[in-house]
């Protein structure tokens, strides 16, 4: 299983290396490590990770600001590992990011299941965003075609079916998308007077 890139952010190199080894063994690749929040910020803009694992606290900050930055600037799934005394504060602050928050100490199986769950959620959200963007695009195209149709109805006294057929036939004849034909009709409508 290749899950895409993973960024581990942890102030303790030994702990980061153990997570990295576990993820690579389970088929996750490539896996990168950052040992501070600032190093992580530089890395996640360059590598565009699919998953970011943050073990708090970090040497240069607690990690809450980093989690918000990662949420805003990437589409990565987020897993946060925190000390039990930090959990309520971190949960309250980062709840809106959708990050999974796990208490330390963490066992291998729990971390692995959480990583897979975070990636599954990330993939579902990415797919929904893609479908939403595609739907918006199609709706905008439909609006342009409808506008061109109504211009033909109004200016050329065509019926609705005639106007639609005209746009379709012109698109086929010119081997252009209907959207392009509609845009050209709209831009030339001023000259139809």
d(CA 1, CA 110): 18
* pLDDT string in tens for the chain (193-residue length): 446 789 999 999 999 999 999 999 998 989 999 999 999 999 988 888 999 999 999 999 999 999 999 999 998 999 999 999 999 989 888 888 989 999 999 999 999 999 999 988 888 888 998 999 999 999 999 999 999 999 999 998 999 999 999 999 999 999 999 999 999 999 987 666 5
Q: For tokens 């893609």, what's the residue?
A: 130
Handedness of CA 37, 41, 44, 50 (dihedral sign): positive
Domains of the chain: 6-106 (3.40.50.2300), 134-192 (1.10.10.10)
Q: Rounded to two decimals, what is the model's pTM? A: 0.73
For residue range 81-92, list pLDDT tens digits in order.
999 999 998 988
- Counts of helices then strands in the chain (DSSP H, E): 7, 5
CA distances from 34 to 17, 80, 167 (A): 11, 14, 56
For residue range 150-192, list pLDDT tens digits in order.
999 999 899 999 999 999 999 999 999 999 999 999 998 766 6
Q: How many CB atoms lie within 10 A of CB 24?
A: 13
């Amino acid at each position: 299983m290749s899950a895409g890139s993973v960024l581990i952010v942890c102030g303790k190199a030994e702990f980061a290396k153990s997570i990295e080894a576990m993820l690579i063994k389970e088929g996750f690749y490539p896996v990168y490590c950052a040992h501070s929040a600032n190093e992580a910020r530089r890395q996640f803009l360059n590598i565009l990770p699919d998953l970011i694992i943050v073990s708090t606290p970090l040497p240069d900050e607690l990690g809450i600001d980093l989690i918000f930055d990662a949420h805003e600037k990437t589409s990565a799934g987020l897993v946060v590992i925190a000390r039990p005394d930090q959990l309520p504060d971190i949960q309250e602050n980062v709840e809106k990011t959708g990050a999974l928050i796990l208490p330390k100490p963490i066992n291998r199986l729990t971390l692995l299941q959480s990583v897979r769950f975070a990636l599954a959620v990330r993939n579902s959200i990415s797919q929904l965003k893609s479908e939403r963007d595609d739907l918006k695009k199609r709706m905008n195209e439909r609006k342009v075609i409808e506008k061109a149709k109504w211009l033909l109805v109004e200016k050329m006294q065509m019926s609705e079916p005639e106007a639609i057929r005209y746009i379709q036939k012109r698109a086929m004849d010119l081997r252009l998308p209907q959207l392009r034909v509609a845009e050209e009709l709209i831009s030339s409508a001023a000259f139809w007077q």
